[in-house]
Amino acid sequence: NAGVTQTPKFQVLKTGQSMTLQCAQDMNHEYMSWYRQDPGMGLRLIHYSVGAGITDQGEVPNGYNVSRSTTEDFPLRLLSAAPSQTSVYFCASSYSFAGTEAFFGQGTRLTVV
């Protein structure tokens, strides 16, 4: 059982480049989300989805887009990378939104130069 799979694990981008971080889960979870983790800041919510076709903004959505065409996949797109987006990104899924365990992918370490 793969759980939540994120790719790539590492990425270096130049300022202004775009890229997509992939996230897939095989647990048939409705709720999926993207977080970024920076030193001393904890995990901050970027975007989330409560089901296929539905997405919403989290705490720090600027510079990122998401889509949810299927239950399994929830890609995160960086539109024009900036050094401030250097971070570790985690995708998570859970059975429902409130009060259930969140399962995280292994993370993507992104550096923007």
Partner 1 sequence: RKEVEQDPGPFNVPEGATVAFNCTYSNSASQSFFWYRQDCRKEPKLLMSVYSSGNEDGRFTAQLNRASQYISLLIRDSKLSDSATYLCVVNMMDDMRFGAGTRLTVKP
Beta strand 76-78 pairing with 87-94 = unpaired
Nearer residue to partner 1 within complex by CB, 18 or 26 = 26
Outline where DSSP puts E strands in the chain: 4-7, 10-13, 19-25, 31-38, 42-51, 54-57, 64-66, 76-78, 87-94, 103-104, 108-112
Residues 45-64 interacting with partner 1 (rule: CB under 8 A): 45, 48, 56, 58-59
1 binds partner 1 (CB under 8 A): no
Nearer residue to partner 1 within complex by CB, 14 or 42 = 42
Residues 83-102 interacting with partner 1 (rule: CB under 8 A): 90, 97-99, 101-102
Nearer residue to partner 1 within complex by CB, 41 or 113 = 41
